[in-house]
Amino acid sequence: MNLFAPLPRETRRLLYGILALIDKTFPLPSRFRSRLPSDVAELSHLLTSGRGERGLSYLGRPNLLSAYLRFFLPWNLYRLCRLLPGLDINLRANDLITDLGCGPFTLAAALWICRPDLRTLPLEFHCIDRSGPVLEAGKKFFAALTSATLTGENSPWKIRSSKAELGTGKTRPAALVCAANVFNEMYGDISRCSTETLKRNAEKSAQLLESHAASAILVVEPGFPRCGEFISLLRNALMERGHRPLSPCPHDSDCPLLDYSARDKKPGKKRWCHFAFETEDAPRDLQRLSLSARIPKERAVLSFVFMGKQGTATSKHTPDLRIISDAFPLPHQRFGRYGCSRQGLVLLAGEESVIEKANSGAFVNAAFKKGERDPKSGALLAEL
């Protein structure tokens, strides 16, 4: 199944009303509205380059919580609503979904928005976060979202929230365990971690995820190199515990990106599994706020892995090659994208117009050049 398809009309309609719904649910006095772009910029700094300045209770500050609800929550919903429909998430009546580091119920809200087929199904969500104010905001936001969608009907989804550190308290077997934008914050500044540290953190994360005895596991992280490497290491650790990759991997062999990252010591030459897509269908008012905060979002980038228990069926029509990078220029006026396959890392080359059409996350059929490798990256060579 291809990833990151354009938003369907119903999903787009709901997402376009999110900021208005947030303003109605969490009224912001006019005297504070002018400060919103600077609050967004401050929170962005604390979540990226200023991690060392961020305390554990940073979202307890009303101005930062307001910035999170009006900027990061809608953008996270947008990313998830582009991702989730491309995953084979099968849920049945009374299934339990555990959301680790849930924030303001972001995953539950995204599923509600982009999977209307699930809205009439009785589901139970266990949302865990260490921030009490964020959980309270999540309760109000999700209640407002379902109320606006169902026009008077009661939602069959039950949400139980827990204020706790991850890995504490009793757990129940879950049909799906999710962790979105959690582990890169949990382990401090992940961009400064060595590969050995990342590997230890991946092992701890796999143990935490496995403790919830999930049938399926979804982990989503920002799409920069260290997060991509962490996702590959986490994939390995989960496979050792009896899980197998369902997406984005077109195979259950060793991750080829780890091998290439280990061999390539040149600064700036890391190769990592990540996906980028244009945001032209994102809500206009959200794009305007991004520009006001000087954080333009022309593209969204993420790394993720979706795992199932051994024996989980996969599509019989899955091609062997998944596009996992942006397009980039090659010699002789050609362009390329990296792809992942059972045979290893692949450099897919061709004319610019052809390569640009092979979107990030898409499955493609390609003709391999037998025995030929790219001298620069060592990747197998293939043509569309």
Higher pLDDT, 374 or 315: 374
The per-residue pLDDT for range 18-39, each reduced to its tens digit, is 999 999 999 988 777 888 999 9
Q: What is the DSSP letter of 71?
A: I
Q: 105, 139 in Cβ contact below 8 A?
A: yes
Exposed e or buried b per residue across 231-254, where buried means at least 16 C-beta atoms within 10 angstroms of its C-beta: bbbbbbbbbeeebbbbbbbbbeee
CA gap 236, 243 in Å, rounded: 9
Give how far Cα 93 sits from Cα of 61, 102, 118, 217, Å. Answer: 38, 22, 9, 18
Decide: residue 21, CB within 10 A, 0-12 exposed, 13-18 middle, 19+ buried.
Answer: middle
CA angle at 182 for the pair 268 and 275, rounded to the nearest 5°: 45
Please tell me the predicted confidence (pLDDT) of residue 254. Answer: 86
pTM of the model: 0.91
Domains of the chain, by residue range, sit at: 9-255+294-309, 321-383
Structure confidence by residue, pLDDT tens digits, 302-357: 999 999 986 554 544 456 789 998 889 998 889 999 999 888 899 999 899 889 88
- What are the pLDDT digits (tens) for 177-192? 999 999 988 877 777 7
Q: What are 39-49's pLDDT values in tens digits?
A: 999 988 888 76
* pLDDT greater at residue 187 or residue 103: 103
Residue closest to 212 by CA, chosen among 94, 87, 108, 99: 99
Is residue 265 scored above 60 in pLDDT? no
Confidence of residue 75 (pLDDT cuts 50, 70, 90): very high
pLDDT over 70 percentage in the chain: 90
Between CA 178 and CA 97 the distance in angstroms is: 8
pLDDT, position 45: 83
Which region among 170-174, 178-182, 244-248, 318-322 has the lowest average model confidence (pLDDT)?
318-322
| Pairwise CA distance, residues 282 & 12, whole Å | 8
pLDDT of amino acid 62 = 84
Q: Which residue has the tokens 């009785």?
A: 122
Q: Which residue type does 204 have?
A: K
Give the pLDDT score at 185. Answer: 81
Q: What does pLDDT average to over the chain?
A: 87
Asked whether residue 262 carries a pLDDT value surpassing 70, the answer given is no
The larger pLDDT score, comparing residue 1 to residue 247, is at 247
Q: What are phi and psi of 21, to 5 degrees?
A: -65, -40
* Distance in angstroms (rounded) separating the CA atoms of residues 191 and 228: 11
Provide the pLDDT confidence category of residue 267 given band limits of 50, 70 and 90.
very low
Element (H, E) at 300: strand 299-309
Residue 243 has pLDDT above 90, yes or no: yes
CA 143 from chain centre, in angstroms, equals 24
Of 274, 239, 242, 245, whose CA–CA distance to 257 is shortest?
274
Q: Are 75 and 297 in contact (CB under 8 A)?
A: yes
pLDDT digits (tens, 9 = 90+) for 104-143: 999 999 999 999 999 999 999 999 998 899 999 999 999 9
Q: Give pLDDT, residue 207.
A: 93
Contact 219, 305 (CB under 8 A): yes
pLDDT score, position 73: 96
DSSP 8-state secondary structure symbol assigned to residue 257: H
Q: Which residues pair with 159 in a beta bridge?
A: 125
* pLDDT of res. 268: 43
Alpha helices by DSSP H, listed for the chain, are: 9-16, 18-25, 30-33, 36-47, 62-67, 73-83, 106-114, 132-150, 183-186, 195-210, 225-240, 256-263, 284-292, 352-357
Tokens standing for residue 55 = 């305390």
Enumerate the β-bridge partners of residue 226. Answer: none
pLDDT at 108: 97
Of the candidates 235, 236, 242, 248, the residue with the CA atom closest to the CA atom of residue 310: 242
Of 3.40.50.150, 3.30.70.270, 3.40.50.1950, 3.40.50.300, the CATH number of 9-255+294-309 is 3.40.50.150
